[in-house]
Structure 1
Amino acid sequence: MGYIRKKLFFLVALAVLPALVIILYAGLDQRRQAIDAARREVLFLVQNMSETQQGRLESVRQTLSVLAWMPVVQNFDITASSAIFRAVSEGNTAYFNITAAHVNGDVFASARPFGSINLADRKHFREALTKKDLAVGEYLVTRIGGNTPGFAYAYPVTDKAGESRLVLTLIQGLDSFADLFGVVSLPAGSFLSITDHQGIRLSYYPPREKTNAVGRPIAPRAWEMVRGGEETGVATVQGSDGILRIVAFKSVRLNPAEPPYMYVWAGIPEAQVLEDANKVLIKNLLFMLFSTIAAFVFSWRIGKKTLVAPINSLVDTASNFARGDLHVRSELTILPGELGVLSRAFNTMAASLEKSQGALSQSEAKYRALFEHNADGLLVVDLKTRRIRHANPMICKMLGYAEEELLELGVEDLHPAADLPQILAAFAAMARQEVVSSEDIPCRCKDGTIFLADINAARIDFDGVPCSIGMFRDVTERKQKEQQLIEKNAELERFTYTVSHDLKSPVVTIKNFLGFLEKDLETGDQKKIGCDLDYMHRATDRMEQLLTDLLSLAKIGRITTVRESILFRQLVGEAIFILAGPIAEHRAQVQVVDVPLILCGDRSRLVEIWQNLIDNAIKYRSLHTLLTIEIGLESTAEGPVFYVRDNGVGIDPCYHDKIFALFDQLNPEVEGSGLGLALVKRIVELNKGRIWVESEGGGTGSCFRFTLPDAINKPGDN
């Protein structure tokens, strides 16, 4: 089979080889001619652009020379000069600004508003004073007019003795250079550009901000074209955007004796230039291919009966096997020679693969069921690239991504930057065939939230690629409950200590005065007996108040109450009514901002908030100022924020957190159990809110602010 086929193919190839050589030569010659034509075209373009710029330069020279002879300019008239400059700039949109400056560089007139500006360091300014003639600058960012990119010119104003009196400058906006391009029809991917003498782009058409931004240097290979000092040049170079182009440049000079101040550029993609020639070459090659195919077909038919048909049969059998028909077998095993041997070998191989495939399918089914239905999140990650290769539904649910989105991400996208060193160390360990187990690893969800996970990972081969399979178990809720338990235990410990301490105090008082009472009863001293009984009554009253407040604190959030809707002003009104006696006694002025807000919740508990805060303001009033209490609310982004503000003694910032703890009183002499603010804090937190105090202490008053998200009446509530 091999000998006959080789002979047939050799004869066909020998016949088509000369024609193939001719086609390739003609195609390459046509490509060369297309490139020569393109080089002439870009040279013609830059020549036209250069002439246009020379005309614009003369226009600038005339404009500045006319302005230089105006009396208001020569007399340093700031207002009149600025007005003329403004009129000229508005009449020519190409002029961004015109200024006049003293020879020391200080600007005294400008078409645009200016402050204290000095231009002495500018190239065009220095050269104008040196040459005493028109000077051209370079790409710059203006100091007048908002840091705008531009191109500068300068013209000195001299006296009769030829000494410079002042310097006029003209800033040309970079957008105006687009006028040089005119209406030019260019192939796709072509460009026209202008740079200053340093190679900084002044304009680029069509605009490409990402790769060819104005104000940035041109590609180094293109800039090398002007290093030789030639007036004009053309070459094939790769641009900043990576495209290979036929590029031409033309230098622009102020006068022949000076170096160029500008270069104009034009470029056409080499691919566009060669497109037609390539099409012809491909067309000829296709024609040659079809002719060759026809010759091969003719040659093939010679050995079809003895060679092609059996091979096609074997190919069809192999193709059916490759498409999944594992039961297919070759029927050519009865043939003698090589085809028979090949057919029998194929059948043996097919039987072996069919058996292996069955076992593999069962294994894959078990793996997929375990992977897809696992209660933990599973991720398969490429060890080398750290890109995600596979994800099960549970990890998608944990992270909030669809599987398709996860496959576009890497490990770095799923963890905060601070935890990446630990993650990367785990990958290094898995590369060494180690099994990794990590606890409390922060994982970032699609919405930016973070949850903690215990991760167990090991190395596997996935489609022949070394990967890691990680099992994620969300432990955020467990950690939160653990933290809550720790906080509750600490709170219980503090509570137990405080209760035992505060309840012990009145008991000790009663015990001591019982001893005093026994002695006083023996002596019959009625005055001391009354005093002893008074102290014992006060101790029992103190104990009763403590027990009542503790019972109230314990009931908050543990007894089911009926939620009802009530106006904000009604809640505050009830609290004021309850405290009417102390308010009147201390002549306190209570001001309430009337807001039509409806709250919903346990009415008595909500009233307790304002009752305790008003009572607190009365207890800690200033003895030198009439007490004023202001009650209201403010609208913020997180919702209404309620406040109770007073002009009392204030609270030092170091006690702002301590005052909400159990039994904490800043002034032990003030009547109360020290549970009032703790009760308020517990009720606020029960309504999903928070409370804080604002005060600088030292008689500046206090302002308690709090939120009640769960008590705000929702749309649809009664």
Structure 2
Amino acid sequence: MRRSLNHKVTGFTALLLLAFGALSSCFYLYSYREGVRKELTARGVTMAESLAMSVDEGLASENVDLISHINKISYAQDVVLAQVFSTVWIAYDAYPKNEMGVPPSERAVQYFKGHQKTLFFDDGTHVEFYSPVFYHDYNKSQDSRFIIGYVRLQLSPAQANAALGRAIIVNVLLFLVLTAVMIAILTTCIRRTVLTPLVSLQRSVGRSLNDELPQKVPVGEDDELGVLSRSFNKMCDALEQREASLNEQKALLEEEVLERMSAQDALLEQAGHLEEEVRERQAREAELEAKNAELERFTYTVSHDLKSPLITIKGFAGAVLKDLAVRRYNRMDGDLRRVMDAADKMGLLLNDLLELSRIGRITNPPVPVDMNALAAEVLAQLSGPISQSGAQITVQPELPEVYADRPRIAEVLQNLVENAIKYRGDRSPVAIEIGSREPDGKPVFFVRDNGLGIAPEYQETVFGLFNKLDARTEGTGIGLALVRRIIDFHGGRIWVESEGVGMGSTFVFTLPGAPAPAATTAGGET
């Protein structure tokens, strides 16, 4: 618990006064007790010696009647016992009478074997006095002093103790009152002379802890606290001057910082423009490199794949010329049919290449596309190949809606389903599933089959031009390249998932969803 300096000073003053008062009271009570004890001892000695003088005549004449006036000692209320003994310590009389048989103290008996002065001691409950009784011969000019008996007195210290108790109570009450008055006076003086300047200093220093300038404190007397107050006031003046200087420097620094920040913002803006230009240029360069690489592959593939049907046409055309020269008309029919097949293959290849080149140039505006309805239309168009292969095709209900070029997306589904039927291998029946999933809250479509499957090393190259998994199958090998071009044009992504050859494959692609509706103005225009 935190105590203030005021409480500490008051407590210390109170403890100091209490300690001083307690020591003074103890000394006073000790002195009072010693005075009472000395007074009681002196009175007891006087009473014992007086009694001894009053009974000396009775003891000298052995006249008990002269001794009996010992009862007169009862006027002293603190006398408990009074006895008169012979020299051999035989009791002649006692007060009170029933205490006649109380024997003397062995200490007194031993003492008077070698002494003649009055003996007194405290036995714990009473103070005992023994005084010798001397014989006095009054008829002679010189006293004849010898002991003819002894007097014993027991005094009770009860009255003295009662008086001591009353003195203790009065002293304690007086001490408490004086202590309270002294504490009040001293604490008031200390507060005015010491605590008030210190509290002022503490409050002023506290302001500096709250990020405020300390205030000057009043200067009192010309003592240590006054010197401290003046020094503190000088420190306050120095702090005010330093604060003013710092504020001026702060304003200059803030102005300089604002100028630098403005220049930095301008540099950052320029840097941002430059970075954006660099990114755009890098993107254009990457796109150009990709297009150049694709063009090189396209050129190579076209020159390679078109060369084969041309060689076929040229070869069988030469055979036809030879047959005409020798009039072998029966072989000309087969040669011309092979020429027609090669020309048809070349025409199909050219049509596919033309279709591939048109992606990105001839497009339809994007519209909301119901994927379930689109899948139903595509399957209806492929009903012939589906029935011939015996394929079992399932479409998940409630496929997500997309926002795309509807005819192009139909081409995507058509190519993927045709590939699944074409590369079915020896599986019977063929099982194809069209569905979707949402791994990250965004729709992902897939076409899954149980066909040949694709080895991991070919899962990326299958999307290249004229790449066919099985050369024995019909087609030009442009279908998956066309699918990828359409998906890329829509801003989506396509990939294949397969555990290996013979394990089936799943072609997965993403498409953008429907855009958020535009906000409507108060006039109803969007």
So what's the TM-score if we normalise by structure 2?
0.50
So what's the TM-score if we normalise by structure 1?
0.37
| Structure with greater strand share of residues | 1
| Structure with greater helix share of residues | 2
Bigger RCO (CA 8 Å, 6+ sep): 2
